């Protein structure tokens, strides 16, 4: 008997042996000890001397500094991936904690470089950066100097780094483990949260209602813990922002993303100003589903003809074919993930939920984590995470310090990959109702990326400000702010139930990376603009696009995008992307009208 679409991915497990053989592999400890020795030698040789280095000496130091971070990053990658595959395994948890502690110690040892380089006189720094010998690391060195107004003294920085191990890092891990271990009950069976959330995409409305109630019941059992963790991390961030003189809760994220506060404000204002597109679409969906009232558990209901499932091998073929049609080079890099054991696809107890690509380090290769069930959105998730993976492979020659991109452009390759796959699927579909069903799914995915993430940004801003001005928040206050910011997006087109009010409590981005979520909106609207240019320019666009990916984080985002005809500094840029989202809704209305 053929396996189900979900079961077809059961054997798709990653092999972390390219990193280390096991959690107790002696090579891991040897690498950590070598890193500690090298870092200590660097500190002994260069502490107090950065201001007196010439260009050749500075480049040599940065190369050795990069080597330390890459070797430590390899060990940290293994620990994180091993733990993500089974968060309930105590040995893996212990290794993750060990690497967290060692990483903090390494940062303390190497901290002198960042502080001393940031303190170098501007005229002297400019001369060093203009020297051809520093060219490989020029952007990294420029970015590092931007943190100067927010750096503390070395003793203070060391204390913050030391305390983060038992502070913020510990609470983040605790949150992840509690939620990964949680069990939910649906129709008498124990199920994982990921399965319940996927059930919200089923056509059976009573089943969706029961699944939503099951999610709420499970989250309510965790609510005291989630509320305390959120409050603790909000207070921790407020404290550090005060110490570092950041003007508001999002400023450190924007600095890290290499984007001005005003550009982010313009993005958020533009998206919030077009919430009418969301209301317009969900009024259409209410008619398509023929229901009098649309509830939160109806948002992702498929149209009757849109219940397709894809086996793993079919999903792989679809995604790779779309990548190859766009660019042979993109397809070749994508195929490496399937030719090797770089993907962990099946849902299983203890495995971390959701999906991600871990870029690993340039000397190795990325890994993808999925929770695959064969739904169309799972195919899109595969396309999305593969885009991240290909991006990391292409940028690897830039080296550890410059192959990562800021979060604002980190979603470019992933969302562009999704767009390629969607267009390939809809172009080959001749049936109008199937095309409508596919377009509806794409619109909802786009909304989840552009509008929902912006609404979550509004929630984040609200809770950070409320925690800073009014002290610890109750679960009810969190829920009030969540529903207020979510209802602003939907207007009267969707009824958000009281149960939905606690669904803020499982979203990991708020815990892992405060301020992250607007990057999704940034990336989606950027990709809409890039894809429009591709449709105009044709095949010639592909080479420029791949070169943009290969640049990694070696220059400012707006400079990297310039050859593709995109001006990220223009606030009106977002309006053009939003107009394309509106056009998608118009197309759905036209298909619905027959």
203-231: per-residue pLDDT in tens?
899 999 999 999 999 999 999 999 999 99
Q: What is the mean pLDDT of residues 250-278?
A: 92
Summarize the confidence of residues 472-481 as an average pLDDT: 98
pLDDT tens-place string over residues 59-76: 999 999 999 999 999 999
Q: How many CB atoms lie within 10 A of CB 566?
A: 18
pTM summary value = 0.83
pLDDT at 2: 60
**Average pLDDT, integer, range 486-515:** 95
The reported pLDDT for the residue numbered 156 is 87
Mean pLDDT taken over the chain: 93
Q: Categorize the per-residue pLDDT at 311 as very low, low, confident or very high, splitting at 50, 70 and 90.
A: very high
Residue 40 lies in a domain: yes
Q: What is the predicted pLDDT for the residue at 306?
A: 52
283 found inside a domain: no
Q: Is residue 500's pLDDT more than 60?
A: yes
For the record, the structure tokens of 382 come out as: 């595969």
**Interval 41-60 mean pLDDT:** 96
353 within a domain of the structure (yes/no): no
> Is 410 a domain residue?
no
Give percent of the chain with pLDDT exceeding 90.
78
Distance between CA 538 and CA 165 in Å, rounded? 50
pLDDT at 307: 59
Q: Is residue 63 part of a domain?
A: yes
Share of the chain above pLDDT 70, in %: 99
Residue 385 has pLDDT above 90, yes or no: yes
Contact indicator for 359, 388 with CB cutoff of 8 Å: yes
Indicate the pLDDT class of residue 305, thresholds 50, 70 and 90: low
Domain of 147: which CATH number?
1.20.140.70
Query: What is the spatial distance between Cα 426 and Cα 431, in angstroms, rounded to a whole number?
Result: 10
The pLDDT, as a whole number, for residue 126 is 96
Q: Distance between CA atoms of 551 and 368, rounded to whole angstroms?
A: 21
Q: Is residue 13 situated within a structural domain?
A: no
**145-189 pLDDT, tens per residue?**
999 899 888 888 888 888 888 889 999 999 999 998 898 999 999
Residue 69 lies in a domain: yes
Read off the pLDDT of each residue in 443-467 and give the average, rounded to a whole number.
Answer: 96
Two structure tokens written together for 112: 């002198």
Residue range 435-461: average pLDDT?
94
Q: Has residue 462 been placed in a domain?
A: no
State how many domains the chain has.
1
Residue 1 confidence (pLDDT)? 40
Torsion angle (degrees, nearest 10) of CA 298, 304, 306, 308:
110
489: exposed, middle or buried (Cβ count in 10 Å: 0-12, 13-18, 19+): buried
**Domain interval for residue 93:** 19-166
């Amino acid at each position: 008997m053929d396996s189900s679409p979900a079961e077809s991915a059961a054997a798709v497990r990653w092999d972390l042996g390219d990193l280390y053989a096991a959690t107790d592999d002696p090579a891991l400890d040897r690498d950590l000890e070598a890193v500690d020795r090298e870092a200590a030698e660097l500190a002994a040789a260069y502490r107090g001397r950065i201001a007196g280095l010439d260009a050749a000496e500075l480049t040599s130091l940065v190369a050795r500094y990069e080597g330390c971070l890459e070797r430590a990053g390899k060990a940290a990658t293994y620990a994180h991936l091993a733990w993500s595959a089974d968060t309930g395994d105590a040995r893996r948890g212990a290794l993750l904690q060990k690497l967290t502690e060692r990483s903090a110690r390494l940062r303390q040892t190497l901290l002198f470089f960042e502080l001393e380089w940031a303190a170098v006189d501007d005229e002297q720094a400019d001369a060093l950066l203009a020297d051809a010998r520093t060219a490989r690391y020029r952007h990294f060195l420029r970015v590092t100097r931007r943190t100067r107004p927010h750096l503390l003294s070395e003793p203070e920085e060391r204390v913050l780094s030391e305390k983060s191990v038992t502070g913020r890092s510990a609470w983040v891990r605790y949150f992840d483990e509690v939620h990964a271990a949680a069990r939910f009950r649906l129709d008498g069976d124990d199920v994982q949260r990921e399965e319940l959330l996927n059930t919200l995409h089923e056509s059976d409305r009573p089943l969706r209602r029961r699944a939503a109630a099951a999610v709420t019941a499970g989250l309510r059992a965790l609510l005291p813990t989630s509320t305390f963790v959120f409050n603790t991390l909000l207070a921790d961030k407020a404290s550090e922002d005060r110490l570092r003189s950041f003007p508001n809760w999002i400023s450190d994220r924007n600095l890290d993303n290499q984007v001005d506060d005003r550009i982010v404000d313009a993005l958020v204002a533009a998206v919030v100003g077009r919430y009418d597109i969301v209301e317009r679409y969900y009024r259409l969906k209410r008619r398509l589903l023929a229901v009098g009232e649309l509830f939160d558990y109806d948002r992702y209901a498929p149209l009757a003809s849109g219940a397709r499932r894809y086996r793993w091998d079919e999903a792989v073929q679809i995604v790779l074919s779309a990548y190859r049609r766009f660019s042979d080079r993109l397809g070749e890099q994508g195929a490496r993930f399937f030719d090797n054991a770089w993907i962990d696809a099946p849902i299983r107890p203890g495995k971390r939920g959701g999906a991600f690509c871990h870029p690993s380090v340039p000397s190795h290769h990325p890994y993808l984590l999925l929770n695959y069930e064969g739904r169309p959105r799972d195919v899109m998730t595969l396309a999305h995470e593969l885009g991240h993976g290909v991006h990391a492979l292409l940028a690897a020659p830039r080296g550890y310090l410059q192959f990562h991109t800021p979060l604002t452009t980190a979603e470019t390759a992933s969302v562009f990959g999704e767009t390629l796959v969607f267009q390939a699927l809809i172009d080959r579909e001749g049936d109008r109702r199937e095309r409508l069903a596919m377009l509806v799914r794409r619109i909802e995915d786009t909304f989840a990326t552009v509008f929902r993430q912006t609404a979550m940004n509004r929630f984040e801003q609200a809770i950070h400000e409320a925690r800073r001005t009014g002290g610890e928040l109750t679960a009810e206050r969190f829920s009030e702010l969540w529903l207020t910011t979510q209802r602003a997006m939907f207007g009267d087109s969707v009824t958000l139930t009281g149960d939905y009010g606690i669904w803020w409590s499982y979203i990991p981005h708020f815990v892992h990376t405060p301020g992250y979520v607007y990057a999704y909106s940034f990336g989606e609207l950027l990709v809409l603009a890039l894809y429009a240019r591709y449709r105009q320019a044709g095949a010639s666009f592909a080479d420029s696009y791949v070169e943009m990916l290969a640049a990694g984080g070696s220059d400012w985002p707006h400079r990297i995008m310039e050859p593709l005809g995109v001006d990220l500094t223009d606030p009106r840029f977002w309006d053009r992307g939003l107009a394309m989202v509106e056009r998608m809704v118009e197309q759905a209305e036209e298909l619905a009208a027959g």
